Structure 1
Amino acid sequence: MAIINLLASIALTGTPATEEEVQMITSTTQEVIRPVDELRLVISQEEIYDRIAEVSKLIDAEYRGKDVTLIMIMKGSICLAADLMRTLETDVALEHITCSSYGQNGTERGELTVSGLEKLDIAGKDVILIDDISDTGTTFKTVIKELEQLNPKSLSSLALLVRKNKEAPKFSPDYALFHVESDDFVIGYGLDYKEHYRGLSSIYALN
């Protein structure tokens, strides 16, 4: 679908949408909301749970006995953070922050803004930052820079998905569950399109 390819391009390149593209996105929103049985399955619930179990073992080996705080970037990482906490043997605290750079129409608004940093108490603690998907790495790099000002003992990153790019990645999370194709507009398991599909137990592609 042209509209989904457009959105994937905006997300991947970070290029602001033109006025014509904004109108196209706005006018075709309702056409994109499709039944689950019409979506293309990318990663099943079973595959997600199996991979979480594998990554949890790595985290337990690295952080057992340490003062660990998971910081999830809302809203996309909420499913991953919840399932990860349930799987880990290591006792962890959970915090959340919010990042925004896109408007309701899915278009680029400009510089990334981070909210919720003022309530974090992570000085001297081991922190794992969790996000749903790493495209260009901009979100991770921006948030990590902000979190470093709060003096954590250590700071690592975990992504549910990393998008495959033809160019060398500008940022690689310390932990990554899956890689997805560069042109897939993925939804489900926390990822949404205009707040739809977020609660799906598996990950699908709209395009």
Structure 2
Amino acid sequence: MTTPSFSDALARADLIHDHAALGDATRRIGGEIDQLLGGGSAVFITVMQGALIFAGQLATSIKAPLIFDYVHATRYRGTTRGGELEWIKRPSTSLAGQTVLLVDDILDEGHTLNAIRDFCLQQGAARVLLVVLCVKQHGRGVADMRADFVGVEVPDRYVFGYGMDFHEQGRNLAAIYAVDA
């Protein structure tokens, strides 16, 4: 089966969340994080590449002092199905004794976030709070894997836009779209 072109996928995609709704959700999460941190600091770790857009917007919604770093680990490598986790870059900031905000675009089955969270805890993080733009609604995934902060829910379809890609394209779209994979 051939992969549809990005323009074909976008043409048949359904708009799931528009830019205004994502902005509202991001600002809400920022306020919730500030409330939880109570003025304390945190290490803000962006999961590349998908969380880049969300993380940038979220960071400006948080008033607490933040130390920024990123991690790049992937199971997709340009496909629509996950495989084995590949570490491209681990955080270079010391996580010992720190509160970590692990920021990602989507919590789908949770394998990637679970592995990154475990890594942070192994590095001595006092706590790791999972912050995701969206959660995919289905019954699959890592047992007891839940995000501490969630922007929006998305259906159990292939979603792209606002940082998420369709075969490495569409991350720059200002909304979230869904297609049947």
Same-fold status (TM-score > 0.5): yes
1:146 paired with 2:119, answer yes
Q: Which of 102, 118, 131 in structure 1 is aligned with 2:104?
A: 131
Report if aligned partners of 2:73, 2:86 keep a CA contact under 8 Å in 1: yes
What 5-or-longer segments of structure 1 have no aligned partner? 1-23
Matching residue within 15, 18, 28 for 2:3: 28
Task: Return the alpha-carbon distance in structure 1 between the equivalents of residues 95 and 174 of structure 2.
Answer: 31
Structure 2 length-normalised TM: 0.88
Secondary structure of the residue aligned to 2:74 is strand
Alpha-carbon distance in 1 for matches of 2:80, 2:46: 21
Aligned counterparts of 1:28 and 1:44: Cα–Cα separation in 2: 25
Counterpart for residue 5 of structure 1: none
Q: Could you say which residue in structure 1 is the equivalent of 2:49? A: 75
Flag the structure with larger Rg: 1
Equivalent-residue separation in structure 1 for 2:44 and 2:136 (angstroms):
22
Residue 56 of structure 2 corresponds to residue 43 of structure 1: no
Question: Which one of 69, 84, 103 corresponds to residue 111 of structure 1?
Answer: 84
Q: What is the alpha-carbon distance in structure 1 between the residues aligned to residue 91 and residue 101 of structure 2?
A: 17
TM-score by length of 1: 0.78
* Structure 1 pair 34–167 and aligned structure 2 pair: CA distance change class (3 A): closer
CA RMSD of aligned residues (A): 2.1
Query: How far did residue 81 of structure 1 move?
Result: 0.5
Once residues 191 and 161 of structure 1 are traced to their aligned partners in structure 2, the CA distance between those partners, rounded to angstroms, is 10
Matches within 5 A, 1:51-200: 51-108=25-82, 110-117=83-90, 119-166=92-139, 170=143, 171-182=145-156, 184-200=157-173
Take 2:78 and 2:153, find their aligned partners in 1: how far apart are those partners? Answer: 26
- Report the AA paired with residue 69 of structure 1: V
Query: Whole-Å Cα distance in 1 between the matches of residues 21 and 90 of structure 2?
Result: 33
Structure-2 separation of matches of 1:118 and 1:43? 31
Contact 1:114 1:143 in 2 (8 A): no
| Displacement after TM superposition at 1:120 (Å) | 2.8
SS for the counterpart of 2:59 is: helix
Give the Cα separation in 2 of the matches to 1:118 and 1:38. Answer: 38
Secondary structure of the residue aligned to 2:168 is coil
